[in-house]
Structure 1
Amino acid sequence: MASTEETKTAQVRIQLTTRYPDIELPDDPGPLLVSTGFRRYALSTLVNNLLQTERPVPFEFLINGQFLRTSIDEFLTANGISAETTLTVEYVRALIPPLHVSSYEHDDWISSVDVLSGSSPAVREAEEVSSGQERILSGGYDGLFRMWNMSNEVIATSNAPDEGGHTLAIKSVKFISPQKIASSSMDRTIRVWDYSEESATLTPTLELYGHKSSVDSIAVHSQSSRILSSSSDRSVGLWTTKKSEAPSAPENLIPKARNKRRKLSHPTPSKTGTQRGPLSLLTGHTDVVSSAIFSPTDHTVGYSASWDHTIRTWDLTTSACVDTRTTAHPLLSLAAMNGANLLAAGTSARHITMIDPRASATTIAAMTLRGHTNGVVSLAADPDSPYGLVSGSHDGTCRVWDIRSVRPGVGEVGGGQVGESVYVIPREILKEKGKSKAPVGGEGLKVFGVCWDKHVGIVSVGEDKRVQVNKAGDIIRT
């Protein structure tokens, strides 16, 4: 390796490039000779000078798909690249730390969160959600979910059990459309609700029965009116929100009401007027199914993750499992990263396994993301980038990842690379209590759910009974 003095004076030829027209160099300067001692800051200054920016813009740099985290010389040495090579260096705007915007307080632990904005999947082309009219849904262990506006105000709350609401803790809540919501619960049901913005009311319209245990997560595909559910009964459910298309509910699963005079039991009348069953129940997992999602490119394909260490791919038109990938640990959460053709699976072993679900994939784990100190129970992809991901963990933090920020995975099971988080988002309540970090294991601060919305930001919920909103400042995403 070159000495420090040699590193300062040695030079390497680089070719600057970017995929983003708004920060493209007006004139291609061609290959440039720069010191191998340059790090990110020096390269960022160079690009700003070439762009002649009025205010410096912080940039990150990628070489062969990896972020430059050292000097160029150290990068070349670590990757076995000759200094005689002309390096193609891609520059992109740096991620800005997501800052705390606001927190909304619940009466109980919060299990799930979803956001409605102009960029949400639940909003179709003919619909609009104006800036400032975004909505946040939060589902609680008190059996209720709440609709919040951006002024920290609850504008609607779901019904109590005697009025058609859930009878046990809510585990998942999702927008189907700006006027329709789905929720699932430990009471083994999924319920569909109509929402009126004018009257700020939530009306239960459909009760879905089929699971024999807690329904721990749901995913919706608004255009096809389909719902996927995962349950601790080891099955995945496929449902429709259209009453006319849904089969009858299984009578043995509908709660019974007892006639005291005749000592007879009969199905409890629905408070919503409609009880329906699943289009199909997908079986094959041998333990709790923690998460089920639709493929982002084909709603007839679904993926499920389970405590049985597997991710299964389902053909939803035939209810057949077409692929099974087995990992080393129980899986607690799942998210799809569309542009990267990867599935992110949160594990009980405190890391995230990145899996290529395509049949042509030669390895199971393409990458491992490490940094959490407890189970990773919630994941959400960056809505603006194929490389970004946010995770929520029982360690009391969320972490923001860029899967281009990697290092060789020495000693990793199955090989692959190791990614490290770009930012850590602590629970804001820690600052209020004058503490710098969460207790070991995250006791009292466990994150149960996280959502990433282009307009609202990163919204997380958990054991601290708070909906916490974090958002980057004035930034044009890469």
Structure 2
Amino acid sequence: MAHVSVKFTTAQRDLAVPPAAIRIPATFKRAALAEVVNHLLGRTDNPLPLDFLIDGTLLRSSLAAYLENHGLSAENELVLEYLVALPPPTPVAAFHADDWISAVAIASKDRVVSAGYDGVVRVWDTTDGKTVSKHQVAAGVVPLKAALVLPPSEEQDASVLRVAVAGMDQKVTIVDMAAKLETDGMAPPRPICELAGHTGAIEALAHVPDLDQLFTASWDGSIKVFSTKHADLSSGTAPPAAKKARRDATPSTTPSLPTIPALGSMYGHHGAVTALSSDAATRTLFSGGHDHGVRVWDLSTHTTVQTMTCEKAVLALAYSSTSRLLASGHADPIVRLWDVRAKDSTLVRSRLAAHKNQVVSVAWAPNSAWLLSSASLDGTVKVLDVRSPGQPLHVVAPAVSVPKWQGGKDGEKAPVAKRLCVAWGEGMVAAGGEDCELQVWRAEESI
């Protein structure tokens, strides 16, 4: 059996082992390597789960396979940096909605907001599994595609969450939702206004708090800019009264809301704009669309300062201010990472093998430079590590069958329920999809 010389190092001084190189079988993988390190630490009775880095990449094969893949021989000495392995996320709560869940946002440590194809936005309590508040955005079935929680203003009641939702009706609806469980003395959800101007469905929202501006991405090929200042949201004018209805017409039960026009529009994509993210610190906006392009916008001038392209349509974007990387989901199973600071950013810095179908939502762990989550039409939610491009770190949610599926031929398997959205914040990962289930997990970012 071939052996290889390895030296173990760690950034955790209390877990350091002697620096001398030792020879071990080249067939050893992560589990066997962890056993060696735990033996050197004298922790055979209470072993630590460990991961191993070689040249900044997590080892996910045998040492022999690593040597072969990198054109090295067993005569080369390998330096293995070990660290305590991150545990998989653990379930916290699960909720059932009346229709597909297409957007999710984490409001606080015990509040999650969801929006769905039934046109309803809901606030959920993760501690007791109850619906805190819900609001039907429009009469009838109007699929919502995007949702976010706006930061509270000085004029806003502390017990209220201000939520922006948008979708197929081509408008953004601003709704004040109860942050506490509704009681007889608590006011119901109150729609504030509508932000109008698009001529196509809205797919994504992004907010820059320092500017008090909301950005919307639409199938009409534009990105529109709206003010979210309290005074501006309160200044909308109600639409003119409708003409007298015919006697046989069905009366509308949905009151008209004040309408706020856009401050302006941003053009550059050819075709639908389907993804947005922002960097508040630099006042930068990132957008992606069906033209396979990712654009970087300077929000001081609302102009494109950089254009990047790849092989597939862009379906999701998420920027990390910690790693300063932009992650993108596409009409293929790959999550791409872009370094927007690089001069030649037209090239993808890294590709993460994540799924078996399109990646429709991505979200970074807020305080980690390495971790992000992804949701896919293959029915799974996964945690990815940028240091492990070959495979995901954890499968958070496995694929499940479409509920109440009426099968075709005998023995035909039910299709999987597509996952449509994922969010990471406040130590939680939340995701929803075609099975109408909103699932929440407790997720560690570091040990």
1:157 is matched with which residue?
Answer: 134
Q: Does 1:364 align with 2:347?
A: yes
Residue aligning to 2:291: 308
Structure-2 residue corresponding to 1:467: 438
What residue number does 2:147 align with?
173
Q: Is the 8 A contact 1:395 1:441 kept in 2?
A: no
Amino acid at match of 2:394: Y
CA distance in 2, matches of 1:27, 1:245: 58
Structure 2 residue 37 is matched with structure 1 residue 47? yes
Structure 1 residue 387: Cα displacement = 1.5
Please, what is the CA RMSD of the aligned residues? 3.3
Structure 2 residue 309 is matched with structure 1 residue 326: yes
What SS does structure 2 have at the residue aligned with 1:351? strand
Distance in 2 (CA, whole Å) between partners of 1:82 and 1:29 is: 24
| 1:63-142 to 2 correspondences below 5 Å | 63-81=54-72, 83=74, 85-118=76-109, 134-142=110-118
Residue 377 of structure 1, CA deviation:
1.0
Q: Distance in 2 between matches of 1:90 and 1:294?
A: 34
Q: How many corresponding residue pairs? A: 420
Counterpart residue type for residue 386 of structure 1? A
Matches within 5 A, 1:363-402: 364-402=347-385
Q: CA 1:324–1:476 in 2, change beyond 3 Å: closer, same or farther?
A: closer
1:411-422 matched pairs, under 5 angstroms: 419-422=390-393
Aligned to 2:156: none
Amino acid at match of 1:336: Y
Taking every aligned residue pair, what percent have the same amino acid on both sides? Answer: 30
Separation in 2 of the partners of 1:319 and 1:305? Answer: 16
Distance apart, 1:83 and its partner CA: 4.8
C-alpha distance in structure 1 between counterparts of 2:413 and 2:357, whole Å? 6
| Counterpart check, 1:449 vs 2:438 | no
TM-score, length basis structure 1: 0.78
Aligned-partner SS, 2:37: helix
Distance 1:261 1:200, change over 3 A: closer
User: What are structure 2's unaligned runs of at least 5 residues?
Assistant: 153-160, 181-185, 247-251, 405-410
1:228 and 1:236 in contact (8 A); partners too: yes
| 1:363 CA displacement | 5.1
Q: Distance in 2 between matches of 1:363 and 1:170?
A: 32
1:284 to 265, 268, 274: 268
TM-score, normalised on structure 2? Answer: 0.83
Question: What is the rounded CA distance, in whole Å, between the counterparts of 1:366 and 1:441 in structure 2?
Answer: 38
SS at 1:258's partner residue?
A: coil
2:58 equivalent to 1:60: no
Distance 1:305 1:51, change over 3 A: same
Partner SS for 1:174 = strand
Distance in 1, matches of 2:84 and 2:187, equals: 40
- Pair 1:31-2:20 in alignment: yes
Partner of 1:193: 175
Aligned with 1:55: secondary structure? coil
Separation of aligned partners in 2, 1:234 and 1:143:
23
